[in-house]
Amino acid sequence: MNKITIEIIITTFIRFSKKIKAYIKDFIHIPIMLKKNMEATEAFLYFILLKEAWPAAAKNFIPQINFSESSIYDIYNKYIQKFQPNTLSKKINLMLVQLAENLPELSLDERISLFEEAIHYRSESLPLIYSRYITFMARFGHDDHILLEICNRFKDFSGNAWDKNCEYGWLYYIALLLRNKEEHYASKILKKFIYTYGPYKISSFPHIANFAKKCGIRTHLISDSSFLFDYMQNLNGEKILKKYLLNKRIAVVGSSFLEINQNNGNKIDSNDIIIRVNHTPHPDYYSDFGKKTSIITYGLSSKINFYIPEDSIFAIEIEGIERHPLSKYNIKKFVKLAKLNKIIFPSLKSIYEIMSLSSYTQFSSGIMTIAYFEHITKSLTYENIYGFTHLLNGDYTQYGELPQYHFYAARSDDPRGNTLFHAHSLKREREFLKKILWKG
């Protein structure tokens, strides 16, 4: 792979994708990149990311690659051997991690293989790789035994495991120890964590904040986060939710732009319970999406800045509060809702059971909402689902083909930019939806 090809790849990244800029921040200026003489392996890894983000552009620029392969992972396995050096550089190791974290089509086992390969080719970035491996498995896995094995390897690593970029690896390890009732060892790690990093990020995990408070560690954020933990423990949210939903006609409503002009608003509002994902409806779209809201769900990956109607019963964090660190803003929002008894947190057990149904990991908030309410009601069918037309319409094979995702924001106006269209796999989500709703 020559320098001209590499330059085309990097130029295309810079031109088309805001998200990919983060991956190549060291190579934003092409002359500098060429001067550093990037290895062919590293260029190929960049190409894989490009292929996922902009397949049409990649096919035009890199015609020698066989795009008829069954998956992007197969292409990686087939072609990477041609360029694989004996020892991978730090940047290449981190690119393997970025592949494992971000390629939407990969299964959990394929992601684990990429992390393990990055660890196998040891480099100075190994502590960071372990930390990101733990973080990913805690967020998207569903087996504490696998996570504990990775954490123990991280703990026993002889290098600088307390590097400044490894905070979340240790926090997820502490959380895992607390779930397994190993408070004595969790206390030791927590003390070293505070000595090394300070107490600020402890509040991101309510169960750790609660434990820290018991150990005499107090800040305003830790107290707020600890309050959330006590609220979750004292309120059997799923039991209340099941009782509330019993024998009710339910509609789950997403925000697909393909729902516009379907005129399903009155049909949606005729249900007893209307569950909405991430957003309440805008008056301009009442005819298509309805106006009533009983329950609203959201994921922790975005800032909770929407209005929750006074007449709605619950707000539900749908991704699992033990799996995603909370921001300072979201902690305050959650506390406000908790004091009104208007928020429910799904149990980790329920989230694990849902995730174990598929080898795929990175589901959107909409799919998690459908899966969660099917899990607790056992009554959802395709008849209950609105605003997910992109999943039911076979005209599109991947999110990148959609001219618009949400009805309320054109693609160019969405604050998350083009990254939204590559974070999830349309094919995998469509398969999962069929699996959980198919009653035949």
226-238 mean pLDDT: 87
Residue 411: φ, ψ to 5°: -55, -45
| Residue entry with tokens 């994708």 | 17
Beta-ladder partners of 317: 298
Residue 297, strand partner residues: 277, 316
Note whether residue 257 is domain-resident. Answer: yes
Quote the number of domains for the chain.
Answer: 2
Residue 251 domain flag? yes
Percentage, residues of the chain above pLDDT 70: 67
101 part of a folded domain = yes
Greater model confidence, 53 or 253: 253
Q: Which of 123, 138, 160 is the last residue of a domain?
A: 123
Quote the tokens at residue 370: 């459908």
pLDDT class of 402 with cuts at 50, 70, 90: low
Higher pLDDT, residue 299 or 129? 129
Same domain, residue pair 114 and 246: no
Q: What is the pLDDT of residue 189?
A: 94
Closest CA to 52 of 302, 391, 362: 362
The pLDDT value recorded for residue 394 is 64
The pLDDT assigned to 37 comes to 42
259 located within any domain: yes
Instruction: Please answer whether residues 231 and 197 qualify as being in contact, where contact means their C-beta atoms are separated by less than 8 angstroms.
Output: no
152 belongs to a structural domain: no
Q: Is the separation of the CB atoms in 6 and 45 below 8 Å?
A: no
If you average pLDDT over residues 110-128, what whole number do you get?
81
Cα distance from N-terminal residue to C-terminal residue, the chain? 50
Q: Check residues 332 and 306 and name the one with the higher pLDDT.
A: 332
Kindly tell me if the per-residue pLDDT of 19 is higher than 70: no
Domain of 44 in residue numbering reads as: 1-123
As a whole number, mean pLDDT of residues 376-388 equals 89
Q: Helices marked H in 1-71 — which ranges? A: 3-16, 18-23, 30-35, 40-53, 55-61
Angle (CA) 402-7-80 rounded to 5° is 80
216 lies in some domain: no
Which tokens is 203 given?
A: 């509040």
- In the listed set 123, 158, 182, which residue is the last one of a domain according to the structure? 123
Predicted pLDDT at 359: 79
